[in-house]
Structure 1
Amino acid sequence: MAKQLTILFWGFIYGEVIGYISAALSGGTFSPLFSGLFAMVVGLLLVNGLNYFVKSPTK
């Protein structure tokens, strides 16, 4: 559970930073809520998807 919360927290932080930089470079509008939530969902799906496909070797 703590791993999932950490992914959500850092996904939100990185989403804010990347969203702000991309909005500034493209001249678009910056939506903090959308960029943070979108990055949270994408990060959660990617990490859980990778954990599904990458298994630790059994002894």
Structure 2
Amino acid sequence: MAKQLTILVWGAIYGEVIGYVLSALSGTAFDPAMSAVIPAIGGLIAINLLSLFVKSPEKK
């Protein structure tokens, strides 16, 4: 559970930064809500899909 919360927080932080920079470069209006929500959900989906493929080694 802590891994998912960490991904949500960092996804929102990185989304805000990237969204601000891209809106400044393109000259469009900055929307903080969408810049935080979309990367956070995308990161959550990505980390959960990645955990399906990467398994921890079994102990003998």
Give TM-score, length-normalised by structure 2.
Answer: 0.88
Task: Spell out structure 1 runs of 4+ moving beyond 6 A.
Answer: none
Partner of 1:12: 12
Deviations 1:2-59 (A, max 9, x none): 1111111111100000000011111111100011000100000111111111222335
Q: How far, CA to CA, are the matches of 1:9 and 1:32 in structure 2? A: 14
% identity of equivalent residues: 59
Structure 1: distance between partners of 2:2 and 2:51: 15
Residues matched between the structures, number: 59
Instruction: Write the distance in 1 (CA, Å) between the matches of 2:56 and 2:5.
Output: 22
Bigger radius of gyration? 2
**Corresponding residue for residue 39 of structure 1:** 39
Alpha-carbon distance in structure 2 between the residues aligned to 1:52 and 1:29: 38
Q: How large is the RMSD of aligned CA atoms in angstroms?
A: 1.0
